[in-house]
Structures are given as structure tokens and as C-alpha cells.
Structure 1
Amino acid sequence: MMTIKKVGIIGAGKVGIVLADLALRAGYEVRISGSGSVGKIALIIKTLVPGAIASENSDVVANSDIILLAIPLSRYKNIDPALLRGKLVIDAMNYWWETDGIREEVLAPGLTSSEQVQAYFKDSALVKAFNHMGYHNLQEEAQPAGSPKRKALFVTGDDRTAVAEVAHFVDTMGFDQIVHYDLADGIMTEPGSPLFGASLKYDDLKDIIDHFDQTEFGKKIAASEK
């Protein structure tokens, strides 16, 4: 297992800022980029997450061991896939109509959002995590291992080594992990699913996952695309 020391976050919105804060608290070196100028992002970072380094996407990626995508889903194709070649990438994005617009203009039918993101970044190892819990909960409910108050996050991906790396990273960020090895299972965490918005302990989250009906939820998603 690789040693993760440097964390890169693409996206300086609410989720990106919270993830940067958690990573700093966990002892990582953190770089973060956003859609505005580096100077503008630096001012936000200095105020909200002092200690993080504001930079451009290329510098963030070049100087990080792991990359978190925390931008609106409709903007992931603004990133050159070559930039993330060979990188371990966490997809913390969700389709959300208020920010992303019409679903079929962002996503093709028949595949989950993470499968489509992975297909675009085909030379990266993509793992889905940090997307089903609200940013307030992420910020306020991180707990050390063994705490009876500790919550759990769902982690899934096709690359078992990458999933193991991310699961360990999630642990250091303050959360237990329920691990799957199929990126398509990311559908369990998409908006509208029982897991979306869930801030639960391990056993409670696992119970929802164990009883999740992917077929029925898939029909719901398909219906929304018509």
C-alpha cells in the first residue's frame, strides 16, 4: 500500500473546503484548486482552511499522491484526462439538477455517473467515496477510530488496490468504511437513493446497503431520464 502524504483537491466549493479541512486535521499536506483565479482561491483558503495551498489544477495534481474531485459533475470534462493519468482519484461528485442542469445533457443513460467519469479518466484508478454524506456532517462528525460516535462512508471501485488505498484514507479522515469492489455500485449513493444524505454508523449503513434494490432504483433513474 502506498503512503499518502499529499492530498490534492480539485474544487474549492463547500465539499472541497470541508475535505481540505479534514485532510489538514488528519496531518496531510493539502493543495486545492478552483474555478477562479489562484489569487481569489488563495483568499478563500486563507480564511476557511489556513494551511492548505491554493494552486492551479496542474500543480495540484503534480504534487499530490491522491486526487479528490469535488466539482459539479457537469464540469468533469473540463479537466484534461491526461492530467490525471496514473493517479489515484476519488470521485466525490454527484449529479444535482440545480447545478448540473438536465441529466441527459450530463450523463448517458444506462451507466452510473462514476462509470462515466471512470471511462473519461480511463488511465486513472477511480474510487467513489465522500459523496453520500452532507458536507456539514462530514465536517462535524469525523471521529477517531474506535469512537462509539463514528459514522461510516461507502467506498467502491473496480480496482481492489485503489479501493484499499481509499478505504485507508477514509479511515484517517475520521470515518469507518463499507467497501465494495464494483464501481457500478456507486448507484447506491446517487441522489434519490436511500443512502444519499445518510450520516449513519457502520451497522445502520450496512443494513441499508444490504437491503438496497438496485433494480428498482435503476428503474427510477431510467424513468427520470425519459
Structure 2
Amino acid sequence: MRIGIVGSGEIGATVAGLFVRAGHEVAVSNTRGPASLAALVSELGPRARAATVEDAVAFGDPVVVLAIPFNGYRTLPADLLTGKVLVDTTNYVPGRDGADEALQSGALTSSERIAEHAKSARVVKAVNTLNYTYLLDRGRPGAARKDRTALFVAGDDREAVRIVAGLIDEIGFAPVETGSLAEGGRRQQMDSPVFNRPLKYGQLRLAD
């Protein structure tokens, strides 16, 4: 699969490495431009390339990963995202991202806000609940599902959720569906019981 990644920070670089090791091709981008990514793509190897944001979005077939601070979603080229599976790894942090009454009141989830911007994309909330260090250390591709660390997935498009769940399985985590972008997205927010808790699939009842 070809995966475009918007963002090259801790989450973006980490998921790029996980996907490359699983056999996928990635195009990594940031706002500073491809030249700033030379060291990262050299480390990732021949399945990785540096790209502009627009080129990374175009490269993703069908998956594009959004791995930037939440308030940067407005810079996404929405016209290039038609039909793409947009994996939203962001979390809304009011002190950093600014006031948003609908998000702060709970009327909308941050992923629903992103879906409003990228109307033609199939937005899936995933890979947002664990710190990048857990992502680096907890993947167990050969382990039984019950022994894998859970990663949660929410979305309104069933096929998009299936695609993202498959990628999560490939990198060694146990995908757990939480529902729609509204209901499931709330279950994955920063104040939720599962946030930044590296729970094994077999432990999930303890988090209810």
C-alpha cells in the first residue's frame, strides 16, 4: 500500500517507520519541505520518500495519515483528499489549538471538525491514544490478539475503518472499533479512560 503522511514529528516519523517495516511505501511531508526530511527518509530506507504536503496526499493510495497538531488541519488540501482514507491521529488541546466552542462543549469531536474541512475524505480516528514511545515499543506482529496492545479506531465509513484496522493489525497492535466519529471519537479523546494507557486486548474490560 502507498501511504502519505502529513507531519514528520514524533507520531509521523514513528508511524512511517512502522508502516515501512510492515512492507508499505510511505511519502513523508512537513511544512518545512522535502529537504528537511533527508535524514529521516535515509533512516527509513528505500520504501520511504520525502514529499511536499500536496505530493504526500496525492501519493497516499488510499491512505493519508494526519500527524500534525490539530489546528493545522485547515492547511490540508481538501480537494486532493477525495475518496482517500484520512487517518486522524490528532488531539484537540485548547491551550495550543485555540478556543472552539463546539469541541469544548462536546457538541462535536475533533475528528468531526476535520471531516467538515475534508468533506470528500473518509476520516478515521486512530493512533491518537498512545504516546509515540508506546507505538515504538509495544507492537507485536507475531503475538496472539489477546497479548497485543490495543489501538482504537472510530469512523463512519465501514470500508475505511476496515482498511485502517488492517494496517493496525499489520504493525502488531490489536485494532478495537469504538464506533462512529461522534460516539467513538469521544471514547478516544484525551479525557477518556483509554487515553495513553497501553492496554492489552485481553485487559479491555478493566478500562470500561
TM-score (norm 2): 0.89
Task: Identify which of 109, 112, 122 aligns with 1:112.
Answer: 109
Say which SS state the counterpart of residue 65 (structure 2) adopts: strand
Q: Shift of residue 136 of structure 1?
A: 0.3
Tell whether 2:69 aligns with 1:72.
yes
The 2-side partners of 1:70 and 1:206 are apart by: 29
**CA displacement, residues 20-62 of structure 1 (integer Å, 9 cap, x when unaligned):** 0100110101110011121112234324x33421111222122
User: Residues 162 and 42 of structure 1: is their aligned pair in 2 closer, same or farther, counting only changes over 3 Å?
Assistant: same
**Partner residue, 1:192:** 191
Q: Shift of residue 207 of structure 1?
A: 4.2
Length, aligned pairs only: 203
**Partner residue, 1:146:** 143
Contact between 1:7 and 1:28, CA under 8 Å: does it hold in 2? yes
Tell whether 2:45 aligns with 1:50.
yes
**Partner residue, 2:82:** 85
Write out aligned runs for 1:1-226 (5 A): 5-47=1-43, 49-51=44-46, 52-65=48-61, 66-97=63-94, 99-100=96-97, 102-104=98-100, 107=103, 109=105, 110-147=107-144, 149-184=147-182, 185-208=184-207, 211=208
Say which SS state the counterpart of residue 58 (structure 1) adopts: helix
The 1-side partners of 2:205 and 2:156 are apart by: 19
User: Residues 206 and 27 of structure 1: is their aligned pair in 2 closer, same or farther, counting only changes over 3 Å?
Assistant: farther
The 1-side partners of 2:23 and 2:136 are apart by: 15
What is the RMSD computed on CA atoms of the aligned residues? 1.9
**Partner residue, 1:216:** none
**Partner residue, 1:215:** none
Contact between 1:127 and 1:155, CA under 8 Å: does it hold in 2? yes
Instruction: Give the residue type in structure 2 aligned to 1:151.
Output: T
The 2-side partners of 1:128 and 1:145 are apart by: 25
The 2-side partners of 1:159 and 1:177 are apart by: 16
Instruction: Give the residue type in structure 2 aligned to 1:177.
Output: P
Structure 1 stretches of at least 4 aligned residues deviating more than 3 Å after TM superposition = 105-109, 145-149
Contact between 1:159 and 1:181, CA under 8 Å: does it hold in 2? no
**Partner residue, 1:223:** none
Q: Shift of residue 10 of structure 1?
A: 0.5
Instruction: Give the residue type in structure 1 aligned to 2:45.
Output: P
In structure 1, runs of 5+ residues without a counterpart are 212-226
Higher mean Cα deviation, 36-45 or 72-81? Answer: 36-45
Contact between 2:143 and 2:172, CA under 8 Å: does it hold in 1? no
**CA displacement, residues 125-181 of structure 1 (integer Å, 9 cap, x when unaligned):** 111110001100001111114346421111110111111111111111211111133
